[in-house]
Amino acid sequence: MKLTRRQAAGALTATLGISQAKPQQTAPAKPREVHAVWANAGDAGTTVESLRAFVAQLKRAHIHKVVMGVKEGDGSVVWHSRRFPQLISARYKDFDLVENLVREAHDQGIEVHAWLIDFYESQNGVAYRMHPEWAQLNADGKATNSEKLLDADKLPNRVYPNIWMCPAQRPGYTDQWLLPLIEELVSTYSLDGIHHDYVRYGGDVAPDTYCFCDYCLKNIPRHALLHWETGLSERQQVEIVRPRLEANWEATPDMLPAGWTSMNRREKADFILNGRTIAGGPADMRYFFYEYRVDQISRFVREAHERVKRINPKVQMTAAVFKNPIQSGRYLGQKWSDWNAWIDTYMPMSYRSHFLGDFGTYCSHLTEITSRQMEWTRRERPVYAGIYTTDLFKEEAGAKTYPATKLVLAVEAARAAKPDGIVIFSAGSLKNQGLWPHLEDIFQNA
């Protein structure tokens, strides 16, 4: 079923039970809604012909920006890297996807943003095999591939096959691997943007368990100056001069316990998560754990921005982020509401699977969250609402055809918050679900 925009708006109104506002004759012209799509290398294929067909489809659907996966989840890349030739995907050995895509997309007036999976690698990837010491560690000194998958109840022997790299270590994955990859992309190709993804700590595997590598065990307390490195070698106790216990914090007592240096990894991790800054006070030490993680991710976002803009100030920095920056700060170290100085456009992943409830609830929450995202960024940077098409069809799982109405309704729900753009995940799912022709209608004249 193909719906016109007018029909779609009517359907949305009926679904959400709201009255349709009359258009205002005197309203100022609204800036153009930007349309973007996330795509994987496989969607573009490995020949100029397949790539041209892909770009032609983007053009037909009024896509202004394609966000192309160039560093994939297994750590492989689809450009002909000179610095890391061992990372070049076997499928793209004879076809530099980035070079060809930039030429073909620019011919059609479409921007190309290079999408990188930042801190997530495969346990079989080159980075982890060469540098296992760069992986995040838990309190038992184990990497994330020691964790169980979400569906471990059904599949008790399945482990999580992926490695989250420590964002903090210097030298480490961030400055020896990720930043050089980004610099090479920007200095080699006429890209319009660099797109961060997985720019965070893991949230699906034990969010409060990483990272307790040797570097982080030393630097979490140091970051917050929980222990004086100068002056007395004896531990300074808090002096109680004010009646409210926690009001005595500001003279900055030594907040590490006696015997800290002889504690093992597990004991230190337990203290960082459950300790008290002031004996007898609340168990507040984990505040510094969360702050440390937030600051490590923000530092990387800042450094990536600085290095890219130094090479080419016109290259835009963009990011796929979780829907709520305050909560993702706590769970993922991803407090993206702090990144306006270093991110040009936010693309929050407001996917249905990131919400509870039925489809109607999702639509109303999508309007609300998009509106809040624009508040969190103080409207200083564009926000594109990110919609995952596959997620819309929870009720039709396994079906051969998919009701395009749901895509229409989701886009209209996001539009109700007046975001700067809409970004669809993904080109491949649009194709598999037969939704490209519908997207052509939805984005027409928007």
Select from 11-19, 152-160, 164-172, 333-341 the region that touches Zn ion (CB under 5 A): 164-172
Q: Judged by CB, which is closer to Zn ion: 3, or 213?
A: 213
* CA 213, 218, 219, 220 torsion-angle sign: positive
Facing residues of 116 across strands? 71, 196
Longest dimension (CA), the chain: 76
- Residue showing tokens 């702090």: 338
Q: Which is nearer to Zn ion, 172 or 348 (CB)?
A: 172
Nearest approach in angstroms of CB 137 to Zn ion is 7
- Between 213 and 392, whose beta carbon lies closer to Zn ion? 213
**Cβ pair 62, 446 in contact under 8 A:** yes
Q: Which is nearer to Zn ion, 5 or 265 (CB)?
A: 265
Here the tokens at position 27 are 């309203």
Helix locations, 22-96, DSSP H: 41-44, 48-60
Q: Name residue, tokens 């660099």.
A: 194
Structure tokens at 254: 């030594």
Which CB sits closer to Zn ion, 36 or 211? 211
Task: Give the count of residues interacting with Zn ion (CB under 5 A).
Answer: 5
Tokens of 218: 């030393």
| Choices 162-170, 184-192, 306-314, 367-375; region in contact with Zn ion by CB under 5 A | 162-170
Q: Smallest distance from the beta carbon of 247 to Zn ion, in angstroms?
A: 33
Nearer to Zn ion, 293 or 365 (CB): 293
What mask, x for binding Zn ion by CB under 5 A, covers residues 200 to 239? -----------x-x--x-----------------------
Residues belonging to the chain: 446
For the CB of residue 252, give the shortest distance to Zn ion in the complex, in Å. Answer: 25
Other beta carbons less than 10 A from residue 31's beta carbon = 10
Query: Among residues 166, 182, 217, 272, which is the contact residue for Zn ion, using CB under 5 A?
Result: 166
58 near Zn ion, judged by CB under 5 A: no
Task: Return d(Cα 248, Cα 255) in angstroms, integer.
Answer: 12
We find the least distance from the C-beta atom of residue 360 to Zn ion, in angstroms, to be 43
From residue 240, alpha-carbon distances to 224, 226, 251, 282, 357 in Å are 21, 18, 10, 15, 50
d(CA 185, CA 183): 5
Number of neighbouring beta carbons within 10 Å of residue 16: 15
Amino acid symbol at 270: D
216 or 321: whose CB is closer to Zn ion?
A: 216
Nearer to Zn ion, 164 or 346 (CB): 164
Q: Any contact of residue 165 with Zn ion (CB under 5 A)?
A: no
The residues, any chain, with a CB within 8 Å of residue 257's CB and separated by 6 or more, are: 263, 271, 275
Q: Is residue 308 a contact residue for Zn ion (CB under 5 A)?
A: no
Q: How far is the CB of 172 from Zn ion (least distance, A)?
A: 8
Q: Which of residues 235-294 bind Zn ion (CB under 5 A)?
A: none
Q: Which amino acid is at 120?
A: Y
Q: Shortest gap between Cβ of 214 and Zn ion (angstroms)?
A: 8
Buried b (16+ CB within 10 A) or exposed e, 305-321: bebbbeeeeebbbbbbb
Least separation in angstroms between residue 320's CB and Zn ion is 23
User: Nearer Cβ to Zn ion, position 170 or 379?
Assistant: 170
What is the closest distance, in whole angstroms, from the C-beta atom of residue 134 to Zn ion in the complex? 9
Q: Which stretch binds Zn ion (CB under 5 A): 90-98, 121-129, 160-168, 196-204?
A: 160-168
> Where along the sequence are the contacts to Zn ion (CB under 5 A)?
166, 168, 211, 213, 216
